[in-house]
Structure 1
């Protein structure tokens, strides 16, 4: 009932705010940058206006397999469409290929016939009936497979990007909206890096905004979780979860990183020598993931400092291990935050706070048993939102991503409809 009331209030607010907003703009009583543009993210992230909304209708481009399944299996016939019957099973269980495989799971979800009424998105054959258009180009996997040196020119990855641009620009679907209603996964920070600015009107599926701040924004795009690297905790809970987790804080990973990731080396110095705390160097391997899994399951808190960009897979490893995340970042954006309040199951520190000697550890030691148990219990109830699987299940990661995409549709329609009738594009900027 409360959810229905909230949805009604959102819709009523939108219907009241739009006339007032445009009236104020015409009278020059508001600054468009601080009001109109800030309004769009609120509209874009508004929840459905009625309970039991139908699933998002998605038209998926039928691309040649070299753009997706052919990267996974070189034997995949080049003249064959990818279907539920022939889509390759995901084959890499470690490394960046797995972490950034959101594009695969999104495509697979549209191929699947499973999920029933719990599906947030369904594939449609008629493009005129579609709410959005999905582009199943595995741009993250392409980068991870075909790029060995960032300075290398004319790579297979770059050529695929250029060909993808040509396909989109020639499409009537793209021309109709300028690409605004197209959904394009760019989960790896270097995905589609040569031609991103030519598709920046589209809805991007991103890990964060670290390297694409100039073309990506929260009001338009969707933040998606990494695919977690360690196995989810599905065993019986101990009789006393708080007492059974002997380690206060755990971190394992590479401590020498670029950009925002320099905080990892700084934190190592600040936290060095602290009792009941593990902060150790580690590299990706099957043995390392197993060791990290064991440590996370025996720790009360798991540290999540920035990597080369504000986010990393470690946060989602902690969530599925039921280890309360301790997030240190000044610029991180989190998946599904219109529906999840991360402060109910995570603890946040700014970079300045975390580097203040003793502050972070003292704050964690000050968390009472009762508060920790409440956060831990809540963490268990949300961990299924971060599971990727085929076929998808109710409110799992893929379904949550599609639900976030659906919330962008009103703003997309507003932009498309206004563009069609305006004689002077973006008049308020003049």
Structure 2
């Protein structure tokens, strides 16, 4: 066996020669590596659609790491928001991508930040003195992560505020695979205006006497002349993260009544507006699902939740979650509350006047997972987020007014409502001719299971997946969440308009 001497046993002259040879060999290896793979030593590139933060005056780089409003960053501290700048990804130019994007190209306007991101810098009560929404801006608009040790709610659950719909959509649109930088190639145009957040001073301060929206119209007319005039705005859409009623005050109304003027501006009459609740008679209004607390980032997460929905023990016949509306003479919530109490062990009740339900999904879903049916009476307006909580929990929704869902979510819910829901008239509840327990108790277990399976099919299209997801099963074109279905609906609407350009109505 050949034995090699230790380094300390080599003569000094030979040792020096050995060191010299090793250095030369190492240098040659480095030079060969650089020549063969120059990118290996280059700094890592940033992924597309990230936030580049321009430091605000007086804020150190270290402090900047803890600022709240990189809407595409995962920040947890919300103090002194910075001024994030979103970077729009380029559309792949290869022929396969071009073919896949045929009829699906969307141009997103680069609005001045005063119309979107700069508004988020004012989250700490600077738009309205008593409204601080900084916590809700975190995590792409999903809000703060749910702090739970329960395995079912550890991953992908957030205290989501429904009014962050605009931020959620913008975050996803930045990653939309068929964005185009060429307006002439676009099939549709997205206006990334944070209408609901921008509306806050017009709803709650002395600005309520002013019109909302003329500055946006002026910018579009000046900076997007060709695309704006091409079809009179009919191929444009924006997100208004509140109900349409919050933007529908008459231009002639100078009494300070509720609402802004955004959706009654004649210049925006042809623009499709996605909102939490539409005016059912207007084809340019389109309701999209309320954001709930579940935003899956992996197919495993979604599959685990679906399994829970399908196998959960449903010991209650029905459930009611919500706060009463004693000041509303037309509300049936008090009557349903009493019916729930009278049903004793067959009804599960969650009084949201005692527990703050809006940003805490865990107690809500614990109730919904253990009931067969969930009551969905109107609140301040016809729609409510609980409808989508109910769908995602596999709790069959019971409606009392058509405008709560049937006239609203035509792009997201089945045309035949009997496949997934139950309807009872408000009149019957008020006059006592309808007893909820009696009606729901008549459904067989076979029929209930069939309806629940329909709800399970609706779960993906009723939630907003995590925008950072890289799971191939979630980003596959065959998988559609609420965002995907909304975009598809808009593109179909534009396609219908272009096929029948003289029609007074667009397909809805």
Give the TM-score normalised by structure 2: 0.59
CA contact (8 A) 1:257 1:308 kept: no
Instruction: Output the CA distance in 2 between the equivalents of 1:370 and 1:108.
Output: 41
- The answer as to 2:463 corresponding to 1:390 is no
Q: Distance in 1 between matches of 2:143 and 2:401?
A: 29
2:104, 2:187 within 8 Å by CA — same for their partners in 1? yes
SS in 1 for 2:366: helix
Per the TM alignment, residue 55 of structure 1 is displaced from its structure 2 partner at its CA by 5.1
In 2, Cα distance between equivalents of 1:136 and 1:105 = 11
Pairing 1:352–2:427 present: yes
Q: Over aligned residue pairs, what C-alpha RMSD do you find? A: 3.6
Residues 266-313 of structure 1, C-alpha deviations (whole Å, 9 max, x = no match): 432444412211344314357853221111111111111112221110
CA separation of 1:255 and 1:89: change in aligned 2, threshold 3 A:
same
Q: Distance in 1 between matches of 2:284 and 2:115?
A: 24
Q: Give the Cα–Cα distance (whole angstroms) in 2 for the partners of residues 344 and 54 of structure 1.
A: 34
Residue 326 of structure 1 and its aligned partner are, at CA, apart by 1.2
After superposition, residues 18-417 of structure 1 pair within 5 angstroms as 54=102, 56-73=104-121, 89-90=140-141, 92-93=143-144, 98-112=161-175, 122-144=178-200, 146=201, 149=204, 152-154=205-207, 161-170=213-222, 171-172=224-225, 173-189=227-243, 190-191=246-247, 193-198=260-265, 199-209=268-278, 212=279, 217=282, 219-229=283-293, 234-235=304-305, 237=307, 241=311, 244-256=313-325, 262-275=331-344, 276-283=346-353, 284-285=356-357, 289-332=361-404, 333-337=407-411, 340=414, 341-355=416-430, 356-388=432-464, 389-391=466-468, 393=475, 394-413=479-498, 417=501
SS at match of 1:331: helix
1:401/1:109 Cα in 2 relative to 1: closer, same or farther (>3 Å)? Answer: same
The C-alpha deviation readout for 1:98-149, integer Å capped at 9, x for no partner, is: 2133322332223116xxxxx6xx21111111111111001123335x4662
- Matches of 1:148 and 1:329 in 2, distance apart? 27
Question: How does the TM-score come out when normalised to structure 1?
Answer: 0.69
Residue 186 of structure 1 aligns to a residue whose secondary structure is: strand
- Contact 2:314 2:370 survives alignment (8 Å): yes
Alpha-carbon distance in 2 for matches of 1:258, 1:96: 28
Cα distance between partner residues in 2 of 1:91 and 1:368: 38
**1:253–1:281 CA contact under 8 A, matched in 2:** yes
Q: Is the 8 A contact 2:276 2:290 kept in 1?
A: yes
Q: CA deviation at 1:371?
A: 0.7
Compute the displacement of 1:354 (Å). 3.7
Structure possessing the higher radius of gyration over alpha carbons? 2
Task: Give the Cα separation in 2 of the matches to 1:400 and 1:266.
Answer: 36
Q: Tell whether the 8 Å contact from 1:301 to 1:325 is kept in structure 2 after alignment.
A: yes
Deviation at 1:59, TM superposition (A): 1.1
Aligned length: 341
Secondary structure of the residue aligned to 2:105 is: strand
Residue pair 1:72, 1:88 contacting (<8 A) in 2 also: no
Equivalent pair of 1:305/1:328 in contact (CA under 8 Å):
yes
1:385, distance to aligned residue in structure 2 (A):
0.8
Tell me how far 1:223 sits from its aligned partner: 2.0
> Conserved in 2, the CA contact under 8 Å of 1:251 and 1:278?
yes
C-alpha distance 230-263 of structure 1, shift in aligned 2 (>3 A): farther
1:359 deviates by 3.0
Q: Which has the higher contact order (CA 8 A, sep 6+)?
A: 1
User: Which ranges in structure 1 are unaligned for 5 or more consecutive residues?
Assistant: 1-51, 76-86, 114-118, 420-425
